[in-house]
């Protein structure tokens, strides 16, 4: 039998390194095994997925030449509170095969990647965590949250006879080519106004419209565009329907939203109302939205919208506390001394934050701290979605001065929750 120490030694002996371009197909197959996906993959899917992978930022662990662990990062833009965009190290495709787990392979790949991101000057690292328990140990904290709703259309109280937006705008059904033409500009406006949102490279639109096939089961969705009374493109939605009928021939279709964008509340309202007006559709599922999404408030009876999922979404790892705190604006004016603990030594230290609605300055200080907190908890507070009072009550943040958590909330919390509309 092998002892844990011997297993750890064996993991150390494994090669963890960036892959070569020629190794990409084997790396993708290893990732699919790690994500419990069927090993069969078409040549087209393999080629379309490989085209999105930069081998220089793609790590593999190799045991006797076989890829047994995968890890990849790519450059990403993340919107901070106030609209400034910061450079992020987006981490994805993390897997360690069931035969090689719990021998430290993830820890080795993560340490390499975060060190490289720090060296490059990225302000944060981002990821969507498969399981809650994995990433806190590396200094990540949940920073955006998501909710899904299921709308019982007959209960909404909306007038089913109404067919067009009641605000002078219009909705048109369009094809994927039109979405590729109109989508990037609209999305860019939306994401710069939403803390927690990330950029969508051209590849995102190609995948969303089926030009690139990165999943075997892709079918073309419906696409609709909303234009305001002034003719401006302000909203867009992609959805699928399921052609379900009851035994007495009642139409019972569900319209499942894949993504819905509005640069104005009016655009969001018009699109949700449109989805609830489609003949045959009795249920609308929302896809992943911010936890404080306006959807229920657009319905005469908000109880028609039932929450079906609510969870943490994007996790953040601050790589540079000073640049992160200086990249955002604040809800009020004030000073706060933060003692930030980072056991990995990537950032942290005691800093004086001088905050205002125009921005902030952050400098090392020897003044006594108001709050002591782990870098992972500061990540949860940074986008304004978590409360320092709440974290203090849970014993995660320590108040060194009475009332400091409340003061931190007055500066850092935002009226709307941060939101990352995408999975990556």
Ligand X SMILES: CC(=O)SCCNC(=O)CCNC(=O)[C@H](O)C(C)(C)COP(=O)(O)OP(=O)(O)OC[C@H]1O[C@@H](n2cnc3c(N)ncnc32)[C@H](O)[C@@H]1OP(=O)(O)O
Those residues with Cβ within 8 angstroms of residue 16's Cβ, 6 or more apart along the chain or in another chain: 59, 60, 61, 62, 69, 105, 108, 109, 112
Residue 93 binding ligand X, by CB under 6 A: yes
Q: Which of 19, 90, 123, 129 binds ligand X (CB under 6 A)?
A: 129
| CB of 424 vs ligand X, minimal distance in Å | 8
Q: How far is the CB of 377 from ligand X (least distance, A)?
A: 19
| Binding segment (CB under 6 A) for ligand X, from list 100-108, 117-125, 142-150, 371-379 | 100-108
One residue of 2, 38, 43, 131 binding ligand X per CB under 6 A: 131
Residue selected from 86, 88, 94, 261 as contacting ligand X according to rule CB under 6 A: 94
The smaller minimum CB distance to ligand X, of residues 93 and 387, is found at 93
Closest CA to 194 of 78, 298, 309, 295: 78
Contact between residue 167 and residue 266 where contact means Cβ atoms under 8 Å apart: yes
Using CB under 6 A, count the residues that bind ligand X.
Answer: 23
CA–CA gap between residue 134 and residue 81 (Å, rounded): 27
Q: Does 7 bind ligand X (CB under 6 A)?
A: no
Q: Which is nearer to ligand X, 91 or 295 (CB)?
A: 91
Q: Is 3 annotated as a binding residue?
A: no
Q: What are residue 205's DSSP bridge partners?
A: none
The only residue of 80, 90, 105, 375 in contact with ligand X, by rule CB under 6 A: 105
Query: Contact 408/400 with Cβ under 8 angstroms?
Result: no
Residue 135 is among the residues annotated as catalytic for this protein: yes
- Phi/psi at 417 (nearest 5 deg)? -75, 145
Of 129 and 270, CB closest to ligand X: 129
Q: Which stretch binds ligand X (CB under 6 A): 13-21, 88-96, 166-174, 247-255?
A: 88-96
Contact call for residue 107 and ligand X (CB under 6 A) = yes
424 is catalytic: yes
Quick one: which segment of 103-111, 143-151, 160-168, 291-299 binds ligand X (CB under 6 A)? 103-111
Nearer to ligand X, 286 or 380 (CB): 380
* Radius of gyration, CA atoms only, the chain: 23
Burial class, 64, CB count within 10 angstroms (exposed 0-12 / middle 13-18 / buried 19+): exposed
What are phi and psi for residue 31, nearest 5 degrees?
-60, -45
Q: Does 95 bind ligand X (CB under 6 A)?
A: yes
Residue 194, classed as helix, strand or coil, is coil
User: How far is residue 361's CA from residue 74's CA, in Å, rounded to a whole number?
Assistant: 29
Look at strands 334-341 and 314-318 and give their pairing.
unpaired
At 28, list the tokens.
Answer: 């993708």
If binding is defined by CB under 6 A, does position 8 make contact with ligand X? no
Q: Is residue 104 within the footprint of ligand X (CB under 6 A)?
A: yes
Quick one: which of 130, 193, 297, 393 contacts ligand X (CB under 6 A)? 130
- Nearest Cα neighbor of 65 from 23, 8, 11 is 23
Least separation in angstroms between residue 111's CB and ligand X is 10
**What sign does the dihedral 196-201-203-205 (CA atoms) show?**
positive
Q: Say how far apart CA 337 and CA 329 lie, in whole Å.
A: 17
**CB 34, min distance to ligand X, A:** 5
Contact set with ligand X (CB under 6 A)? 34-35, 91-96, 101-107, 127-131, 133-134, 137
Residues involved in catalysis: 135, 424
Output the known binding site for acetyl-CoA: 94-96, 102-107
């Amino acid at each position: 039998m092998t002892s844990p120490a011997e297993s750890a030694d064996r993991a150390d002996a494994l090669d963890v390194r960036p892959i070569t371009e020629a190794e990409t197909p084997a790396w993708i197959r290893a990732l699919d095994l790690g994500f419990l996906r069927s090993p069969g993959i078409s040549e087209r899917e393999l080629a379309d997925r490989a085209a999105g992978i930069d081998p220089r930022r793609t790590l593999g662990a190799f045991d006797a030449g076989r890829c047994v662990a995968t890890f990849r990062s790519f450059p990403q833009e993340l919107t901070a509170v106030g609209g400034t965009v910061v450079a992020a190290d987006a981490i994805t495709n993390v897997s360690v095969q069931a035969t090689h787990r719990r021998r430290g392979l993830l820890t080795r790949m993560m340490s390499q990647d975060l060190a490289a991101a720090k060296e490059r000057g990225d302000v944060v690292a981002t990821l969507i965590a498969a399981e809650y328990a994995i990433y806190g140990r590396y200094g990540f904290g949940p920073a955006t949250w998501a909710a899904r709703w299921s709308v019982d259309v007959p209960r909404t109280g909306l007038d089913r006879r109404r067919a067009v937006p009641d605000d002078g705008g219009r909705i048109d059904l369009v094809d994927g080519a039109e979405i590729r033409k109109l989508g990037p500009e609209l999305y860019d406006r939306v994401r710069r106004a939403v803390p927690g949102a990330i950029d969508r490279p051209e590849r995102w639109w190609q995948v969303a419209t089926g030009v690139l096939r990165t999943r075997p089961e892709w079918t073309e969705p419906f696409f609709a565009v909303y234009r305001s009374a002034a003719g401006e493109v302000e909203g867009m939605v992609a959805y699928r329907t399921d052609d379900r009928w009851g035994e007495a021939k009642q139409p019972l279709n569900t319209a499942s939203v894949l993504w819905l964008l509005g640069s104005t509340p009016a655009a969001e309202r018009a699109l949700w109302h449109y989805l609830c007006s489609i003949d045959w559709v009795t249920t609308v599922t929302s896809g992943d939205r911010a936890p404080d999404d306006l959807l229920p408030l657009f319905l005469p009876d908000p109880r028609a919208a039932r929450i079906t999922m609510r969870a943490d979404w994007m996790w953040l790892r601050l790589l540079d506390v000073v640049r992160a705190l200086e990249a955002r604006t604040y809800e009020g004016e004030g000073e706060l001394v933060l003692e930030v603990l980072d056991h990995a030594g990537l950032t942290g230290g005691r800093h004086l934050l001088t905050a205002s609605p125009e921005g902030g300055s952050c400098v090392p200080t020897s003044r006594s701290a108001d709050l002591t907190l782990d870098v992972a908890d500061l990540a949860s507070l940074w986008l304004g979605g978590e409360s320092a009072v709440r974290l203090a009550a849970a014993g995660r943040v320590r108040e060194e001065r009475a009332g400091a958590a409340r003061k931190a909330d007055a500066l850092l919390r935002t009226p709307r929750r941060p939101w990352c509309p995408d999975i990556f």
